[in-house]
Structure 1
Amino acid sequence: MADDLTKRGPPDGIRINVNEAWELRDWSKHFGVTPDALKAAVKAVGVMSKDVKRHLGK
């Protein structure tokens, strides 16, 4: 199912969409990294938050 872009709540906790500015901002803050570092992590391991978390060593 597609994201409902009218709902600007917290990230869904499963997938990271770095193409949405608000998700990029929220996930970057959550992991304590810069947006560019988050984009690089997603590029390296994919969009699943558990994989990004492991990649970032969090």
Structure 2
Amino acid sequence: MSDPTSDLALLHYGDGEFAVIRPGRAVTCAVSGKPVPLEVLRYWSARLQEAYAGPAEAFQRLAQVP
């Protein structure tokens, strides 16, 4: 069985785009902890450098941050 963390990418999140620092197939949602495949990653925070699984998770997290 392979280590699931070996499939995790390391990204730098920018405004409207991200840069791949370490290749992988997915990132982890900062709210739910669920893996988010890079091909469907649409929500992240450049300021917090976090990824989110969807709009609900992004809204939830950003509502917590002043």
- TM-score, normalized by the shorter chain, greater than 0.5: no
Whose strand fraction is larger, Structure 1's or Structure 2's?
Answer: 2
> Rg bigger for which structure?
2
Whose helix fraction is larger, Structure 1's or Structure 2's?
Answer: 1
What is the TM-score with the length of structure 2 in the denominator?
A: 0.28
> Per chain length, whose mean CA-contact separation is higher, i.e. which structure has more relative contact order (CA < 8 Å, sep 6+)?
1
